[in-house]
Amino acid sequence: LARMNMALALTDLKRFNEAAEQYQKIIDIWPSSSKPHFKYAKVEIINKKYAFAFELLQKGYSLDAAASSEVLTLGDMFADQKAYPFADKTYGLVIAKNPQVEEAYLKICQVYERTGDRDKAVNLLKKGLQKIPESKDLKVKLRSLGMNWEEKK
């Protein structure tokens, strides 16, 4: 607990390399805890070590399948830093593990819009509506892209 508090404090102080060292030590001590993996991933996104951050969040998510909101937050960090391929993969992890999380479809759709891939956004929304046919938000987003959802009867 003391080491986690130290790592959090170092992160708050923007001493990211020192925080990363602490998170690695915490993971070495408690490899089955998802929280340090997610916190460490956050630091490495800030450090622009995107591939390593993605590995950390994958490991954390494998340890805690209920952590979709934490994973979405890390995806947002990738998107904010314009690391779109990693944002795409991160949101995709949530969809793969829990296809009922409509927020993941909306977020990955934003990535596709930012990268100019409208067709990919449309196809993803259609797949999302196959999984969550009652989603008003996915239907509204699809309409905003000039498409309608035709429910199969």
Query: How far from the centroid of its chain's Cα atoms is residue 58's Cα?
Result: 10
- What is the SS3 string spanning 81-146? CCCHHHHHHHHHHHHHHCCCCHHHHHHHHHHHHHCCCHHHHHHHHHHHHHHCCCCHHHHHHHHHCC
Q: How far apart are CA 103 and CA 148, in angstroms?
A: 19
Question: pTM to 2 decimals?
Answer: 0.90
**Predicted local distance difference test score (pLDDT) of residue 146:** 87
Q: How far apart are CA 137 and CA 73, in angstroms?
A: 19
Tokens of 68: 């979709």
Torsional sign, CA 97, 68, 106, 58: negative
Q: Band the pLDDT of 21: cuts 50, 70, 90.
A: very high
pLDDT tens per residue, range 68-125: 999 999 999 999 999 999 999 999 999 999 999 999 999 999 999 999 999 999 999 9
Tokens of 60: 């954390």
